A and B are shown apart, each in its own frame.
Chain A
Amino acid sequence: MSDTYVQLTDLTLTYGQSVAVPELNLGIREGELIALLGPSGCGKTTTMRAIAGLLAPASGRITIDGRDVTRVPANKRGIGLVFQSYALFPHLNAFENVAFGLRLQKLSANEITERTLQGLATVGLTGYDKRKPAEMSGGQQQRLALARSLVMQPKVLLLDEPLSNLDARLRLEMRTELQRVQKETGVTMVFVTHDQAEALALADRIVLMKEGRIEQLGTPADLYARPETAFAAEFMGFENIFRVEGGKVVSDKGTLPLGFATTSPLLAWRPDGVTVGSGPHEGRVVATSFAGAHREYVLESALGPIKADADIALPRVEIGETLTFDLPEATARPLAA
C-alpha cells in the first residue's frame, strides 16, 4: 500500500485493565474521507482519540506521512479534531476562536487576520467574527469548530459524530458542506459515527467496527450490497437474517422451506428484498406503516417476525389479516457464520 498516509500498526488501546481495541491494523489514504462506523463501545472513538494523541496506546505504532508519531504529544502532532460538543471557547468570539491556534504559532498579525477571515469564509461564516459561540446556532457553532481546526492546516482532520447534534435539514446541509470542504482543501478526514446512513452518504470508505476489531472495510457500495457477516448485514439494513440447515431456513421460532440451493450457513434479506403479495409462505400482519414509496409490514410467520416492504400500488392489508410472501434467491445475501 504505497498511498497509505496514516498507518495504524498492531495498535492496542486500553482503559485501565480493559482492552478497548486489540491490535488494530488500518491504513488511511491521503485525501480520503473515511468513516469509523459502529455501535457505541465498539472502539471507534477510542481509535480516533489515539490518532489525535489524546490517548497513549498500550502498544503498537501510528505513522503519519511515513513518520512515527506514536510518542509525539497531541499539541505537536498537527491533527485537527472537531468535537461532538464542538468544544468552542465560550469567552472568545468567533474570530478569536479561529485565531486561537494561529496565535500560538506566533505568526504575524496580518497573517493571523488573513487566515482567520479566510477560515471563516470557507465555512460560510463571513461577518460573524464578532459573535460569541453562545450567540450562534448549533449549525453555525459546528462550522466555527470546523474552521478553527481547518485554519491550522492539519495533516488529518478528525470529526466526532459530526452530524449527530444537528436537525435533519441542517444535517443534509452540513454533509454537503463537509464534502465540499474536503474537496477544496484535500485534507484527509476521519469521522466517527454510529449512523450507517451518515457513513454511507459521506465516506469514501467505511471501517465497520465491532468490539474493538474491524468487522469489514470497504466502499459504501460494497458494504451496502455485500456485507460479509450477520453484524455487518444488520448494520446495513438487512433486517431478516436466518440460518440455513438442510435446505430449510431456520430461526429460533421455526423453519420454512428454502426455494433454492445454497452453501451459505446464513442468509439475509432487506425488507425490500422480501416479495409480498405472492409466494409460497404466509404471514399474519402484526404492524403496518406508510413510508411514502412503499408500505412497511411486519409479518408474523413460521420464522417469527419478517420485515417486508410492499409496493405502494398493492392494496393495503389490515392488521390481523394474512399476506403471502417469498424469500427469493435474487435478493438473498449469503453471509459467513
Chain B
Amino acid sequence: MNTIGRTTANWIILGLTLTFLIGPFLIIILAGASDTEFLAFPPQGLTLRWYAKVFTVESFRASFMLSMGLAIFGTLLALVLGVPAAYALNRYDLPGAETVRTIVAAPIIVPGIIVGLALLRYVVVPLDVTVTMALFMAHTALVLPYAVRVVSSSMHNLRGDMEEAAVLLGCSRFQAFTKVVLPNIRGGVLAAFILGFVTSFNQVPVSLFLSGPGVRTLPIDMLAYMEITFDPSVAALSALLAFMSLAIVFVAERLLGFSRYV
C-alpha cells in the first residue's frame, strides 16, 4: 500500500474507534434532552427539563448519596488495606507472594455476577449483615485489587535503602514509612483512589445481587426506575454521571499525571 493509502486507512480506523467510544456518550446526552415523554433518539425537540427532573427524584438522591458513600469510604478502606499489602509484596521476599498477587487480582478476573452471588450466598446470608454493610464489604473487595496494583506500580521504583537511610538518621520503621515511603507514592495512592472511586461508583453486577429493599446504589436504582418509567431522565442522569467521571479524571490527569499510574 502507498503512503497516502496507509494514512487514509489510519484515519478511518481512528475515526471508527472514536465513534465507537464517544458515540454512545453523545447519544445519551442528546437522548436526555429530547422533548418527549419517552426515551427517543434522535431527539425530537430539545429541552433541559429532564436534566432538571433528575434532581427532583427522591430515590435518585438517596441512591446517589449511598453510591458516593460506598465509593469514598469503600475505596478509603481498600487503600488502608491495600497500601500496606502493596508495601509488603514489594519490600519483602515473602513466600507465596505470587499467589497473593493472583488472589488479590481475582475480583478483576472473575465476572461480577459470580462475585455477587458468592458474596450473597456465603457471606451476607450466613453472617446476616445489613444490606448497606454487605454493599460496603463488596465494594471494598472489588476496589482492593486496583488499590494494590496501582500502589504497587508506584512503589516499584522506590528503593529499600531510602528507608534504611531514614532509619540511620533516627526514624523508627514506621516513621520511615510515613516520612519517606508515603510522600513518594502519594501520586499512586491518589490515582488508586480515583480509579477505585470510579470503579465502585459505576459498579452494577455485584450491587445487583446485594441491593435490598429501599437500599440501592445509583446504577441499580436507575435500572429499577427504567423498568417503571421510560422517560428521558435516565439518559440525562447517565450523561451527568459521565460528565462527573470525566471531570474527575481530567482534574486528576492535570494534577498528577494520572495516566502514568493506570
B162 contacts A87, C-beta separation under 8 Å: yes
Distance A89 CA – B180 CA, assembled complex (angstroms): 7
Nearest-CB residue, chain B, relative to A80: B168
Partner of A105, one of B159, B170, B183: B170
A74 contacts B162, C-beta separation under 8 Å: no
| Chain A proximity of B211: nearest CB distance (Å) | 43
- Chain A, interface residues (CB within 8 Å), range: 20 to 34
Q: Does B167 contact A (CB under 8 A)?
A: yes
B184 contacts A74, C-beta separation under 8 Å: no
A75 contacts B159, C-beta separation under 8 Å: no
* A83 / chain B contacts, CB cutoff of 8 Å: 161, 164-165
Q: Does A117 contact B (CB under 8 A)?
A: no
Q: Does A291 contact B (CB under 8 A)?
A: no
Nearest-CB residue, chain A, relative to B172: A75
Partner of B165, one of A53, A81, A91: A81
B164 contacts A75, C-beta separation under 8 Å: no
Q: Does B171 contact A (CB under 8 A)?
A: yes
Interface centre among A53, A76, A104 (most CB of B within 10 A): A104
* B167 / chain A contacts, CB cutoff of 8 Å: 54, 74-75
B169 contacts A85, C-beta separation under 8 Å: no
* A89 / chain B contacts, CB cutoff of 8 Å: 162, 165-166, 180, 184
B165 contacts A87, C-beta separation under 8 Å: yes
Distance A319 CA – B245 CA, assembled complex (angstroms): 75
Q: Does B175 contact A (CB under 8 A)?
A: yes
The B-contacting residues of A in range 47-98, CB under 8 angstroms, are 52-54, 74-77, 79-81, 83, 85, 87-91
Partner of A100, one of B159, B164, B166: B166
* B162 / chain A contacts, CB cutoff of 8 Å: 87-89
**0/1 string, A103-116, CB within 8 A of B gives 1:** 01100000000000
* B170 / chain A contacts, CB cutoff of 8 Å: 75-76, 101, 104-105, 152
Distance A101 CA – B161 CA, assembled complex (angstroms): 16
Q: Does A148 contact B (CB under 8 A)?
A: yes
* A53 / chain B contacts, CB cutoff of 8 Å: 168
| Chain B proximity of A169: nearest CB distance (Å) | 26
| Chain B proximity of A150: nearest CB distance (Å) | 12
| Chain A proximity of B141: nearest CB distance (Å) | 32
| Chain A proximity of B164: nearest CB distance (Å) | 6
A75 contacts B161, C-beta separation under 8 Å: no
* B169 / chain A contacts, CB cutoff of 8 Å: 75, 100-101, 104, 148-149, 152
The A-contacting residues of B in range 150-196, CB under 8 angstroms, are 159, 161-162, 164-172, 175, 179-180, 183-184
Distance A134 CA – B78 CA, assembled complex (angstroms): 32
* B168 / chain A contacts, CB cutoff of 8 Å: 52-54, 74-75, 77, 79-81, 149
A85 contacts B161, C-beta separation under 8 Å: yes
* A148 / chain B contacts, CB cutoff of 8 Å: 165, 169
Given contacts A74-B167, A75-B167, contact A87 B159 (CB under 8 A): yes
| Chain B proximity of A198: nearest CB distance (Å) | 21
Nearest-CB residue, chain B, relative to A89: B180
**0/1 string, B92-114, CB within 8 A of A gives 1:** 00000000000000000000000
**0/1 string, A311-333, CB within 8 A of B gives 1:** 00000000000000000000000
Instruction: Jot down 5 A-B pairs with beta carbons below 8 A, ordered by A.
Output: A79-B168, A80-B168, A81-B164, A83-B161, A100-B169
The 5 closest A-B pairs by CB, nearest first: A101-B169, A87-B165, A87-B161, A104-B170, A91-B183
A contacts, CB < 8 Å to B: 52-54, 74-77, 79-81, 83, 85, 87-91, 100-101, 104-105, 148-149, 152
Q: With A54-B164, A89-B165 given, can you name 15 additional A-B contacts, CB distance below 8 Å?
A: A53-B168, A75-B168, A75-B169, A75-B171, A75-B172, A77-B168, A83-B161, A83-B164, A87-B161, A88-B162, A89-B166, A89-B180, A100-B166, A101-B169, A149-B168
